[in-house]
Amino acid sequence: MSNTDKFTLLLNEILERQLQPQDQYEIAALLESMGWNDVRAAKEFGVDDIFDLSEKLWDAIQTKISYNPIAKVEKLRGLSLLIEMIRSFLRGLIFAFPMAVSVAAMLNLKFSLWSYQYLSLEQATSIAIGTILSFIVVGGFTQAIARRGFFYIIQGYYYLARKTTILFILIGFGACLVISVFIILFNLIFNMFSLNMILLIVLYFFFLTSIWLSVTVMYILKKEITFTGLIIFGIFLVYVMFKVLNVDIILSQLISLLVVSICSILLVLYFFISAENKRERSIALKLPRFSITLYSVWPYFFYGFLYFSFLFIDRVNAWSKNEEFMPYIIWFRGQYELGLDFALLTLIIPMGVSEVIVSKLMLDIESSQKSYLAVDSEKLYKQFMRTYKRMFFFIFISTCISSYTIYKFLIWYNEISMKINGENILSSEITIFVLLWGILSYAILSFCLMNSVILFALSQPKMVVRSILPALLTNMIIGFVLSRWFEYEFAVFGLFVGSIVFFVLTTKAIVKVFNNLDYYLYAAS
């Protein structure tokens, strides 16, 4: 390809991203966001630096200004649309499979990759703290990896995607190491937990962090089913060591977590290298400045931290309620955890449905953006508000079906369990109380997640952050107050009211965006 052809191709890519750049400096910023730097610009076009290239592109744009009539947009229809929707549904569903596999293993084997029904309360408390810490600490990194990784993969820059994800994974491990050292030193000073408990907290925290980082990369590479296979393989290893070889359950799980972590990282590297060999361009690319990357992902990073804090803060409130027997500041309550774990299954089907309807919405928005004139913005608003109401209805139906199915399944399974094993998993009124309110809370949360995905797709992460922050504070304050005034299980009302706040704020943000959809589409382009 000649330099002229390369220049024309690059010019068209710039115009696809921003039809009317303000000046050459905006073009330079666009080039950096696309992975260009001084070295690459000089190698490709013989210019001095990226600003020299942006000036040439700016001059070319001034002579290229023309009017393009609205073209008829080809929409997916019939079988093609059905296949795309099924693919989206399975993608949303598969992402929840590891959670379902873990719960299924607990119900049938009484253990999973990181839990066991008959752990001592000290062990259960340690593992629960390590698990919660892993989600909260790694949540921001997973969002950053997903955002930046998708950004490069969509453009076919798998090398840059790999470099970016590895960078965030290394930073994530560094943060995990620093926090682990801090926990150990803090405990040495204040003696909050025993040495064995601290060791378990740090080990589970570290291994689970590596697993969550890996699953995010597999998600952006569309290899979710591989991670589900790894979870099943890890549970199988625990079964062999614990049941066949009579190895201690904690040691069995730690060994399995180590194996799954190593396999996950190796598979991530393999998938990336394979994709690079098939699709990557021949020249060596370099990442843009880290400050630019950091600026582009910080809202997503903050959202990840807030979201997982929102999911777990009610547990912290419940487990820290001071009662007659309270040897540590946090003490695991299995009856509360059991109810929430079962309730969390409510999200599986709505996640699949949400993936379908949001994918369809974005296809419609893309086609409408090319079909409507600026004076038709009111028609655009009305059309997508009608679409949003239909989406709301579908999520409502899927959530009702999912909630009813999960509840009836648990009742049925409990009856079978009592007949076969004489074990009543729903014997506690606390478990049933938390289960019912948890199902209702997660049902509301499914609408929040749909709203959040829409706002993310329209490049409005700050709106999601401004919605979830008050929801988190509501969850924390109400759960804390009610659990102290009444019983510890009342902490679940923090989750319930917080979910309502999250839903109201994200819905208001959606209405605001749709009311000015032409502006937000321009801002996101």
Residue indicated by tokens 């470099």: 163
Phi and psi (nearest 5°) for 417?
-60, -40
Distance in angstroms (rounded) separating the CA atoms of residues 387 and 397: 16
Cβ–Cβ under 8 Å, residues 288 and 37: yes
pLDDT reported for residue 468? 95
Cβ within 8 Å of residue 280, ≥6 positions away: 156, 157, 158, 159
Count of residues making up the chain: 525
Q: Which two tokens stand for residue 51?
A: 């600003």
The end-to-end CA distance of the chain, in Å, is 28
Cβ–Cβ under 8 Å, residues 64 and 34: no
Buried-state track 411-449, b at ≥16 Cβ within 10 A, e below 16? eeebeebeeeeeeebbebebbbbbbebbbbbbbbbbbbb
Closest by CA to 232, choosing from 102, 340, 327, is: 102
Distance in angstroms (rounded) separating the CA atoms of residues 238 and 71: 59
pLDDT reported for residue 329? 85
Residue indicated by tokens 């074990």: 423
pLDDT reported for residue 483? 92
Residue indicated by tokens 């390809």: 1
Distance in angstroms (rounded) separating the CA atoms of residues 286 and 160: 7
Cβ–Cβ under 8 Å, residues 482 and 448: no
Cα dihedral across residues 143, 144, 147, 152: positive or negative: negative
Q: Is 116 helix (H, G, I), strand (E, B) or coil?
A: strand
pLDDT reported for residue 67? 43
pLDDT reported for residue 217? 80
Distance in angstroms (rounded) separating the CA atoms of residues 340 and 342: 5
Report in angstroms the alpha-carbon separations of 36 from 4, 13, 166, 253, 380: 18, 12, 19, 45, 35
Closest by CA to 274, choosing from 159, 423, 424, is: 159
Distance in angstroms (rounded) separating the CA atoms of residues 511 and 387: 12
- Cα-atom radius of gyration of the chain, to the nearest Å? 25
pLDDT in tens, the chain (525 residues): 666 777 777 777 777 776 667 777 778 777 877 778 877 878 778 888 888 888 888 878 766 544 444 444 445 455 555 565 566 565 555 556 666 777 777 777 778 888 888 888 888 899 999 999 999 998 888 888 888 887 787 777 777 888 888 888 899 889 999 999 999 999 999 888 889 999 999 999 998 888 888 877 887 777 777 877 888 898 999 999 998 999 999 999 999 988 988 888 888 888 888 877 766 444 456 777 777 788 888 899 999 999 999 999 999 999 998 877 778 888 888 889 889 988 888 887 777 777 666 666 666 665 555 555 555 566 766 777 787 888 888 888 988 988 899 889 889 988 888 888 788 888 889 999 999 999 999 999 989 988 988 888 787 888 999 999 999 999 999 999 999 999 999 999 999 999 999 999 999 998 888 777 666 665 555
Q: Which two tokens stand for residue 102?
A: 């873990």
The burial of 502, by beta-carbon neighbours within 10 Å (0-12 exposed, 13-18 middle, 19 or more buried), is given as buried
Distance in angstroms (rounded) separating the CA atoms of residues 57 and 77: 38
The secondary structure of 465-500 as a DSSP string is HHHHHHHHHHHHHHHHHHHHHS-GGGGHHHHHHHHH
pLDDT reported for residue 474? 97
Cβ–Cβ under 8 Å, residues 287 and 293: yes
Cβ–Cβ under 8 Å, residues 325 and 418: no
Q: Is 75 helix (H, G, I), strand (E, B) or coil?
A: coil
Residue indicated by tokens 């989206």: 88
Distance in angstroms (rounded) separating the CA atoms of residues 355 and 11: 33
Q: How many CB atoms lie within 10 A of CB 394?
A: 17
